[in-house]
Amino acid sequence: MKARTPNSGLARIQAVYKDLPPKVKTVADHILAQPQDVVHLSITQLAEVTRCAEATIFRLCRLIGMKGYQELKISLAGEMVEQPVQNIHEEVLPEDDMAQVARKVFTSNIIGITDTLQLLDTQSLIAAVQLLNSARNVCIYAVGGSAPIAMDAYNKFIRAGISCVMHSDPHLQLTTAALLGPESVVLAISHSGSSKDLIEVVKAAGKTGAKTIVITSYTKSSLAQLADVKLYSSTRETSFRTEAISARIAQLCIIDSLYVGLSLARQEETLGNLQKIREVISTKRL
């Protein structure tokens, strides 16, 4: 299967935003805030508007994996057609009623999922499924707000017959990581990719020869740099919703994709397990 090339300029900028140099971040801020205007600006005009050198704009393009400014403009133009511009950056305001709050929250989540789909690399998904499918055992690690996502992964993977455990306690994470081996796989989930606990755990697992899969929102994060396979989510922060809240929905979609991929690779076992689960759970219902 041919890899699907991520083509969302906004999603790519968001993925590296935290690690951009100050001058480059100024250009990124303008593009994220007014993508519809950038489509109609030449590189010289954008440089004037942002008070940056043209070389700074070109540097941003290279940092997000694009050949130049023209490729970025084409990407933005496509996004403007696919997504109503007025909905992309809507903030929840103190005076909004619950209907407006719900619409903005739902819209933000939809955009986060769409951007994440653009950002995901098909070959990375395939590699992650192959590692999980062939692993002797899988350890799923996360802390804080990412722990519920890790638990969701655990609940799904056991249905596909994957031998796995999930730990959110840093001490248990290090203890289990130290006992892994070359046939083991670690799945680490962190929105920021900068959790010291997870970085330590992934390093410890790496020393045993275990393979690592990381789900994060930042391509340049320390955790991503340690991973054998990287899966990126795309999020956008607003006044009342942190990036981590938005990331949760997108990352759950990544987990679902991995689970379905595993189910297809282990069809007979998965279907048999699901039948057994339905039978035992039926005794819990009235």
Per residue in 120-161, pLDDT tens? 899 999 999 999 999 999 999 999 889 999 999 999 999 999
Which helix (H) or strand (E) segment is 222 a member of? Answer: helix 222-226
Are residues 57 and 146 located together in one domain of the fold? no
Is residue 23 situated within a structural domain?
yes
> Which residues neighbour 100 within 8 Å (Cβ) at sequence distance 6 or greater?
92, 93
Are residues 177 and 79 located together in one domain of the fold? no
* pLDDT band for position 17 (cuts 50, 70, 90): confident
CA–CA dist 276, 82 (Å, integer): 43
Are residues 76 and 135 located together in one domain of the fold? no
Is residue 257 situated within a structural domain?
yes
pLDDT recorded at residue 285: 80
Q: Is the pLDDT of residue 8 over 80?
A: no
Total domains present in the chain: 2
Are residues 129 and 266 located together in one domain of the fold? yes
Q: Is the pLDDT of residue 209 over 80?
A: yes
Q: Which position has the higher pLDDT, 85 or 260?
A: 260
Q: Which domain holds residue 178?
A: 122-279
- Give me the residue label for tokens 């600006």: 41
pLDDT recorded at residue 89: 47
Q: Is the pLDDT of residue 208 over 50?
A: yes
Is residue 47 situated within a structural domain?
yes
CA–CA dist 139, 148 (Å, integer): 15
Are residues 136 and 82 located together in one domain of the fold? no
When computed from its CA atoms, the radius of gyration of the chain, rounded to whole angstroms, is 21
* pLDDT band for position 2 (cuts 50, 70, 90): very low
Of 64, 89, 114, the residue at which a domain comes to its end is 89
CA–CA dist 110, 133 (Å, integer): 30
Residues paired with 229 in a beta bridge: 213
Are residues 253 and 142 located together in one domain of the fold? yes
Annotate 157-213 with DSSP letters as a single string: HGGGT--EEEE-SHHHHHHHHTT--TTEEEEEE-SSS--HHHHHHHHHHHHTT-EEE
Are residues 175 and 231 located together in one domain of the fold? yes
Is residue 104 situated within a structural domain?
no
Are residues 36 and 84 located together in one domain of the fold? yes
Are residues 272 and 227 located together in one domain of the fold? yes
Is residue 102 situated within a structural domain?
no
Which helix (H) or strand (E) segment is 106 a member of? Answer: helix 98-119
Are residues 69 and 137 located together in one domain of the fold? no
Q: What is the CATH number of the domain that holds 212?
A: 3.40.50.10490
CA–CA dist 226, 280 (Å, integer): 40
Is residue 177 situated within a structural domain?
yes
Are residues 41 and 134 located together in one domain of the fold? no
Q: What is the CATH number of the domain that holds 4?
A: 1.10.10.10
Are residues 131 and 262 located together in one domain of the fold? yes
Q: Is the pLDDT of residue 115 over 50?
A: yes
CA–CA dist 102, 92 (Å, integer): 9
Entry pTM: 0.74
Is residue 100 situated within a structural domain?
no
Of 89, 113, 147, the residue at which a domain comes to its end is 89
DSSP letter assigned to residue 123: H
Is residue 53 situated within a structural domain?
yes
Of 67, 89, 111, the residue at which a domain comes to its end is 89
Q: How many CB atoms lie within 10 A of CB 11?
A: 26
